[in-house]
Amino acid sequence: MRNTPGRPRPRLLALLASGALALGGAIALPGTAEAANILANAGFESGGLSPWTCTGNLGSVVSSPVHGGSKALQGDPSSSDDAQCGQTVPVQPNTTYSLSGWVRGSYVYLGVDGGASTWTTSPSAYSKLSVSFTTGASQTSATVWVHGWYAQGAYYADDISLDGPGGGGGGSDTQAPTAPTGLTSTAKTSSSVSLQWNAATDNVGVTAYDIYSGANRVLSVSGTAATVGGLSPSTGYTFTVKARDAAGNVSGASNAVSVTTDAGSGGGSGFRQAAPYLYEGWGDPPNPSTVMSATGVKSFTMAFVLDSGGCTPAWDGSRPLTGGADQSAVDQIRSAGGDVVPSFGGWQGSKLGANCSSASALAGAIQKVIDAYGLKAVDMDIENTDEFENEAVQARILTALKTVKAANPGLRTIVTFGTSTTGPTYYGNRLIEQAQSLGADIDVFTIMPFDFGGGSDMYGNTVNAAEGLKAKLKSTFGWDDATAYAHIGISGMNGLSDQQENTTPAIWTQIRDWADSHHIGRLAFWAVNRDRPCAGGGVVSNCSGISQDTWQFTSITAGFTG
């Protein structure tokens, strides 16, 4: 993003704000669980996995190395699967539970779906991981899991414990439901597939059905029909369904159904995404699963991937590409059913586009991030004189995006850049022209309609800027209106910008509605970190500077459908 509080700032205000919140009033405290391990086969001493299930069938029980007893779990991550092994158990609402386990391996994670997680790297010896979480007011089951990391070698886990009271019948049931039958596809679009199946049976009753796309669990529902969204157009998917009961017993898989999504409509990119920026480097980063639960948002643009030296990608050029706070945030988002788009570049810092010696070297750096996270899309935030105002670097970036798109079928590419109030500037026009001449096949051209000295009419200026971009795309690529709109993205700035432009929630709602009515490809804003109220607070990193509800801009953005 532009030279906004989108870069590191002193944390004093964030600390003072959080302290004030803590002292602001009394809160209801959740109950504390009694210490009793409610997991079954917690030490894998049965010699089998059940009731644990592992993605991709990448888990097994081994006799060495173990932490206690004579057996342990071994997970074998592949380049596309982190070998997550989980168990679902009944729990009591509004109750605090303690999860712990002994793990060994490079980058091993322990956590609970939709909640807290922790990790360690302990390649040569077992070490203990511990985390606590509190169930929701109506929550009756929880899925705990352990996993490694992509292509990092085998990991081991043993003596996993979830301490607290069981729910319902206390977790003593060990009979799994029957497998669902008759799975069929009933409808499809360019981005979704609707499924239905026959109900499974169980001795105490089925509580949920888990829908899998390949080895990945993508959705859980209580009925016998579901619609899986967020899919790519003209792409093949294979789905299965498993039944689950209150004790966490999981059935075998149903029959498999293979479906190819429709092509994108209107000749456009077929890409629709609401993905506000989330930055782990400053601004009191919020818990993404909390934001998702409160707003319904499913995707985030994660900032920023920079160069740590030698054309090597790292978060902010300093935080590790995997195994740190950024990966933890990605894991939480995906565990809650969402996904991420890493953003490369930004206003300042050591950027890969400017520092990699060639387009092929830059493509290699981008590919490292794609491989690390199994990405469906990447965003190149092209700014400042080193990238945006350097036509050679523009060409290097576009050529690298063309390269990775060819190497990763289905990958979506986004470029993000500044704008005037009437459309692209000289360098924006040059970027679009080079994209056409290089055949870069960019999916979304995203403008940042702020910090352009646009005065008070942020809605009118944003629309005018987007219409100017549409006109440029039509004239450059020969597209019709619908196709040009489908290739447009808008990335605003919530509340006060650096130039004191004020985008209020009401204005952002207007912009969202305009974006929906014109079926543009992408809507984002800078940033979720700032999506908190501080009327009169100025331009700071952890609030918007205006009066608003917490996460209000994110909620508005989540309503974008394209």
Check 45, 280, 383, 391 and give the catalytic one.
383
Given phi > 0 = left and psi -120 to 50 = alpha, else beta, which region is 433? alpha
How, if at all, do strands 53-54 and 85-90 pair?
Answer: antiparallel
CB 208 within 8 A of CB 142: no
Beta strand 236-245 with 206-213 is antiparallel
Give all strands (DSSP E) within 336-420, no chain letters.
339-345, 377-381, 412-418
Is the C-alpha dihedral spanning 494, 496, 501, 503 positive or negative? positive
For residues 508 and 490, give the distance between their C-alpha atoms in angstroms, rounded to a whole number: 11
Contact status, residue 410 vs residue 445, Cβ threshold 8 Å = no
Cis, peptide link before residue 239, omega less than 30° from 0: no
Decide if 86 contacts 144 (C-beta within 8 A).
Answer: yes
Place of tokens 């990966």: 327
DSSP 269: -
CB within 8 Å of 68: residues ≥ 6 apart? 43, 102, 158, 159
CA–CA separation, 341 and 343 (whole Å): 6
Q: Look at the alpha carbons of 29, 34, 38, 39 in this order and tell me if their dihedral is positive or negative.
A: positive
Is residue 45 annotated as part of the catalytic site, yes or no? no
| Per-position DSSP letters for 32-83, written without gaps between them | E--S-B--SSTT-TTSS-TT-EEGGG-EEEESSS-SSTT-EEEE---SS---
- Residues forming the active site: 383
